[in-house]
């Protein structure tokens, strides 16, 4: 299947000027490769480039550029930005030839070998997949025949299977998506928004999980540019207008630090790193604050050359001691990623200091090795680990891949559950919590105390009764946050019950709870789902498609008792709501309404199309003033773009 951006719009001979640009770009690719690798496969890369260039011939992309410019740009990202080797570079150059030309996989195998051919196969297998929610109203032409979550779930399954087989396929695919986002202006606004939505939902989180932080930030910024163009341009201008004052402030902050670092005898660089536009925009949105109240617009980054390989961690702490001797330290904002690296391989020491303007400023301390891993992700991480013992970063990466395999091993996954699990366990950011003994446990963001119990051991989870979070007794449904200490209180008897299915989020916990409930409550599990659907007055098909329209049946009026007339009348209010359609969002909306207002939901009319949703929610409440508060709470949900009284 061909992707939208892989389809050439015309064939027109390449001009001499274009040929010169192509050759200059290819020379840049060879220079990148020679700089990051031995360069012993340059001849192979040259042969592959000539093969791809000949295959694409005079094909043009929607932008009008020669088609070969796209795979060449992807190959440069693969080499320069990710630091991958010749096999991945060759696969990037060839990734579209079987889709837009008559070239076959067998021809690639025979000419360049199966290693390259298999990577191209993997890229082709996951191309054209739609990773957004669609409805029955969406045309086949618009969404390439994807009509329901079952087919969408199959796309995710193919992507994850490919990732488990060879993670290089996903790295090249992310590079492909980055270049497509850079050239998205050639598409219609409708397609721009749709692709930006998919990028923000899938590719940016994957880039983060694979340690590609710079690429992740660029993908998010480009998604913001096309999803919210006016806000993007306004924010960009405000950053430009405030640049001079920020530079002066950073110079004041860094001057005494430079003097101390020089005294340590280390070679280092100290510079300010701006937050991404998307990060700033997202903070303004979630915190409901204007640009002028975002005080952490940038962080200070210290990158140093350790005196010896063995002194790397010690040197980090020497720098920490030096800078905290002159600036006040925020004790709750120390992040030690050098002792416990993140699952994506990230290592650094983060501290937050009180700046000269009275605002807190984060300082990131990294060695050159740590910085290279942070910039280029897994590809560089593996380069450094060759011939060395496995460390915590390796174990974290292995655990993440293992969690993906556990998801794929589920023999009978429900499509909606599967997609929800993907979002919660594969694409989410992580949190770090501690056992009472000080052992660090990593969980996906949004995980509950019950998830933590199952992370310790399945038996602990099944016998869990309650939790102590930072020494305070809390229910198992408590959503955990990074840095908390969690202790699970267990019973001699198994406590697993039907309600737990709605509490757990991790794949391990879900699998264990589902297995237990199916064994001990086989009939009740089915009844619970039926009752839930009946209560919402919707069919299973409608539920899976993300379409919900509830209308309470008009009841015959009955005489009211006299004392009822003296009770306060309810007020009917309608909330208009819209945003990005994601798994489990309806549950989140209804939970917030129930928890925050205790209002009666009289009508929900939501429609999902092109990965977005919109509609109205009508509530009956005794206090109409609660609606404004409720709208504010709904807007805190990342996926909700608008929630306002009609």
Q: What is the DSSP string of 68-95?
A: THHHHHHHHIIIIIS---HHHHHHHHHT
Please give the C-alpha separations between residue 145 and each of 131, 151, 290, in angstroms, as whole numbers: 13, 9, 42
Edge-to-edge, what's the strand order for the sheet holding 486-490? 472-474, 464-469, 486-490
CATH of the domain at 472: 3.10.20.30
Under 8 Å between Cβ of 448 and 461: no
Number of domains in the chain: 4
pLDDT digits (tens, 9 = 90+) for 216-262: 999 999 999 999 999 999 999 999 998 998 899 999 999 999 999 99
Instruction: Clarify whether residues 369 and 405 are in a common domain.
Output: no
Give a yes or no: residue 637 inside a domain.
Answer: yes
Q: Which range of residues forms the domain containing residue 582?
A: 546-645
Residue 611 domain-assigned (yes or no): yes
Sign of CA dihedral 71, 76, 77, 83: positive
Under 8 Å between Cβ of 229 and 281 = no
Residue 227: inside a domain, yes or no?
Answer: no
CA angle 227, 233, 234 (to 5 degrees): 115
Q: Which of 331, 354, 386 is the last residue of a domain?
A: 386
CATH code, domain with 580: 3.30.70.260
Residue 153 belongs to domain with CATH number: 1.10.3210.10
Looking at the fold, whether 570 and 601 belong to one and the same domain comes out as yes
Are 28 and 85 members of one domain? yes
pLDDT at position 422 is 65
What pLDDT is attached to residue 535? Answer: 47
Residues 329 and 410 in one domain: no
pLDDT in tens, 163-222: 777 888 888 999 999 999 999 998 888 889 888 988 888 888 888 878 888 899 999 999
Instruction: Note the pLDDT of residue 543.
Output: 38
pLDDT mean values, one per 10 residues, the chain (646 residues): 46 93 95 78 94 94 93 95 90 94 94 93 77 42 49 69 80 94 91 88 84 91 94 94 90 92 92 92 90 88 92 93 92 84 84 89 93 73 51 56 65 59 64 80 86 91 87 85 86 83 84 84 58 44 37 39 45 84 77 78 76 80 79 84 84
Q: Are residues 404 and 302 in the same domain?
A: no
pLDDT at 159: 75
Predicted pLDDT of residue 398: 61
What's the pLDDT score for residue 231? 94
pLDDT above 90 covers a percentage of the chain that reads: 34
pLDDT by residue (tens digit) across 430-464? Answer: 777 888 887 778 788 888 999 999 989 999 999 88
- pLDDT given for residue 10 in this prediction: 76
Q: Would 470 be classed as within a structural domain?
A: yes
Instruction: Tell me how crowded residue 130 is: count the other CB atoms within 10 A of its CB.
Output: 20
31 CB-side CA count, 13 A:
6
pTM of the model: 0.66
């Amino acid at each position: 299947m061909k992707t939208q951006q892989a389809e050439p719009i015309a064939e027109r001979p390449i001009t001499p000027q274009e040929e010169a640009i192509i050759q200059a770009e290819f020379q840049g690719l060879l220079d990148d490769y020679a700089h990051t690798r031995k360069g012993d496969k340059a001849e192979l890369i040259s042969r592959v480039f000539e093969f791809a260039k000949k295959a694409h011939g005079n094909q043009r992309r929607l932008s009008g550029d020669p088609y070969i410019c796209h795979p060449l740009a992807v190959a440069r990202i693969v080499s320069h930005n990710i630091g991958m080797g010749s096999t991945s570079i060759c696969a990037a150059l060839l990734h579209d030839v079987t889709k837009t030309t008559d070239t076959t996989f067998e021809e690639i195998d025979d000419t360049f070998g199966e290693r390259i051919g298999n990577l191209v196969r993997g890229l082709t297998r996951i191309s054209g997949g739609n990773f957004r929610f669609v409805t029955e109203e969406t045309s086949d032409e618009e969404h390439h025949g994807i009509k329901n979550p079952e087919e969408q779930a199959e796309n995710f399954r193919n992507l994850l299977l490919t990732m488990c087989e060879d993670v290089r396929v996903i790295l090249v695919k992310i590079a492909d998506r980055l270049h497509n986002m850079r050239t998205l202006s050639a598409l219609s606004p409708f397609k721009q928004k749709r692709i930006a939505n998919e990028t923000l939902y899938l590719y940016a989180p994957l880039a983060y999980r694979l340690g590609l932080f710079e690429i992740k930030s660029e993908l998010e910024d480009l998604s913001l540019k096309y999803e919210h163009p006016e806000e993007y341009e306004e924010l960009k201008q405000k950053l430009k207008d405030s640049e001079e004052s920020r530079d002066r402030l950073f110079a004041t902050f860094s001057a005494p630090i430079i003097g101390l670092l020089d005294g340590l005898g280390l070679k280092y660089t100290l510079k300010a790193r701006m937050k991404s536009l998307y990060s700033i925009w997202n903070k303004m949105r979630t915190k409901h604050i204007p640009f002028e109240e975002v005080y952490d617009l940038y962080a200070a980054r210290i990158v140093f050359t350790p005196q010896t390989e063995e002194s790397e961690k010690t040197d980090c702490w020497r720098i920490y001691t030096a800078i905290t001797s002159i600036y006040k330290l925020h004790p709750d904002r120390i992040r030690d990623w050098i002792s416990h690296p993140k699952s994506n391989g990230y290592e650094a020491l983060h501290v937050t200091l009180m700046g000269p303007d009275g605002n807190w400023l984060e300082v990131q301390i990294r060695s050159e090795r740590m910085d290279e891993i942070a910039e280029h992700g897994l590809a560089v991480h593996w380069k450094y680990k060759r011939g060395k013992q496995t460390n915590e970063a390796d174990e974290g990466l292995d655990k993440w891949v293992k969690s993906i395999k556990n998801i794929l091993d589920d023999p009978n996954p429900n499509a909606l559950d599967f997609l929800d699990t993907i979002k919660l366990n594969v694409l989410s950011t992580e949190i770090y919590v501690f056992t009472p003994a000080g052992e660090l446990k990593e969980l996906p963001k949004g995980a509950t105390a019950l998830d933590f119990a199952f992370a310790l051991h399945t038996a602990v989870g099944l016998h869990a009764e309650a939790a102590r979070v930072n020494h305070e007794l809390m229910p198992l449904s408590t959503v955990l946050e990074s840095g908390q200490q969690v202790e699970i209180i267990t019973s001699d008897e198994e406590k697993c019950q039907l309600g737990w299915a709605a509490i757990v989020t991790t794949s391990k916990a879900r699998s264990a709870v589902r297995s237990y409930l199916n064994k001990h409550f086989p009939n009740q599990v089915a009844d619970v789902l039926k009752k839930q659907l009946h209560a919402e007055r919707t069919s299973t098909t409608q539920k899976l498609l993300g379409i919900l329209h509830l209308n309470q049946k008009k009841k015959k009026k009955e005489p009211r008792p006299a004392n009822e007339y003296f009770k306060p009348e309810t007020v009917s209010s309608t909330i208009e709501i819209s945003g990005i359609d994601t798994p489990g969002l309806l549950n989140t909306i209804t939970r917030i309404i129930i928890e925050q207002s205790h209002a009666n939901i009289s009508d929900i009319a939501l429609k999902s199309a092109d990965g977005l949703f919109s509609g109205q929610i009508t509530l009956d409440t005794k206090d109409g003033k609660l609606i404004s508060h409720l709208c504010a709470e709904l807007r805190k949900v990342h996926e909700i773009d608008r929630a306002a009284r009609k």
